[in-house]
Amino acid sequence: MRLPGPAVAVALLVLAATGTAALFGGLLVPDATAQDLTTGITFPGPGHPLGTDELGRDVLRLLVAGASTAVLGALAVSAGSMLTGNLIGLPAGYLGGRADALAMRWADLMLSIPALLVAVVVAGVMGGGYWLAILVLIVLFAPTDARVVRGAVLEQRSRAYVEAARLQNLTSWRIMTRHVWPNILPVALANAFLNFAYALVSLASLSFLGLGVAAGSPDWGRTLSDNKGQLFANPWAAVAPGLAIIITAAAVTVVGDWLQERAERRRLAR
């Protein structure tokens, strides 16, 4: 196997660190939200590598604890939209005709809606909340996934192996799931990676607007929003969560690209 380049290696390290924080953040920094009002807001210094915010909370600890909601939420969005996209795109691409027309007009309709605006409205009307934000994003992301999957299926459908399967008189369901789907999986996965980065930023935006995670919770978007007024007292309180979002999103994109290239190479080496 070819070794990943330096950019990919760095991205993989970033993702490993983020993943650890997301999964074990509660264990690593159990008292992340502990306030120390006597300290108040401080610049980075001994004991507080990134300083504290105005409630005296350690910014680094908040960052580690905040990975969980930010990253797992984005993961839920990309997984959920990939699942929905596959369930719609696979039959649309394989069966064609009316099923395809229906699915694609639905996708067109959904894509004509400004995503983040809808999320803001829905979350605002229904009172916000973390899981509602995730659900809204899944619904908004799914049409793009359905289109990508459909496109990949269309490319496979005309291959002789699919026709050979049809000559075995196999059911459409079996051909779709057992024959076509494994061949489009690399495309779907690569797309899920890109969605993850997008979902990370979108969820943070919603939290920033106060529509995702409850105020005061450790979440990158939320922390950024909470601390945006303290840019002069301790810039790191706002900049650090922002950087975390950007770096993680970039790392996921780099790794996603790398995986797609690898899948492509394997396909060509066939």
Partner 1 sequence: MSIGETKPLIDVRGLRVGRAADGRTLLSDVSFAVEAGRSLAIVGESGSGKSLTVRATLGLLPAGLVAQGDVTLAGRPVSRDPKALRALRGGTVSLLLQDPFTLLNPLRKVGKQIADGLARGKRTPAEIARRLAEVGLSADVAERRPYELSGGMRQRVGLACALAGDPTILIADEPTTALDVTTQAEVLDLIRRVQRERGMAFVLITHDLRVAFSMSDDVLVLYAGRTAETGPAAAVRAAPRHPYTRALLAAEPPLDRRLTVIPSIPGTVPAHDAVLGRCGFADRCALAGDACRDGTPEPRPAGPGRTSACVRADVLAATAPAEPETAPEPEPAEGSGPALLEISGLIRTFRGAKRPALAGIDLRVGPGEAVGIVGESGSGKTTLARCVVGLERPDGGAITFDGTSYGDLRALPKGERARVLRGVQMVFQDPYSSLNPVRSVGAVLAEALRAAGRDGGKAEVAALLDLVGLRPDVAGRPPAGMSGGERQRVAIARAVAGRPRLLICDESVSALDVSVQAQILDLLADLRSSLSMALLFITHDLAVVRQITDRVYVLASGHCRESGPTAQILDSPTDPYTRALLASVPIPRP
Binding site for partner 1 (CB under 8 A): 159-161, 163-170, 178-179, 182-183, 267, 269-270
* Angle made by CA atoms 219, 79, 69, in degrees to the nearest 5: 10
Q: How far is the CB of 180 from partner 1 (least distance, A)?
A: 9
Nearest to 263 by CA among 189, 172, 161, 180: 189
Distance CA 111, CA 79 (A): 19
Nearer to partner 1, 50 or 153 (CB): 153
For partner 1, give the closer residue by CB, 183 or 253: 183
- Cβ nearer to partner 1, comparing 39 with 177: 177
CB of 182 to partner 1, least distance (A): 4
Shortest distance, CB of residue 173 to partner 1, whole angstroms?
A: 14
Q: Least CB distance from residue 268 to partner 1, whole Å?
A: 11
Q: If you count DSSP H runs as helices and E runs as strands, how many of each does the chain have, helices first? A: 10, 0
Min. distance of Cβ 168 from partner 1 in angstroms? Answer: 4
Q: Which is nearer to partner 1, 94 or 220 (by Cβ)?
A: 94
Complex with partner 1: residue 105 or 166, whichever CB lies closer? 166
Task: Give dist(CA 165, CA 168) in Å, integer.
Answer: 5
Are the beta carbons of 145 and 86 closer than 8 angstroms?
yes
Query: How far is Cα 224 from Cα 243, in angstroms, rounded to an integer?
Result: 10
Under 8 Å between Cβ of 49 and 240: no
Q: Cβ(93)–Cβ(151) under 8 Å? A: yes
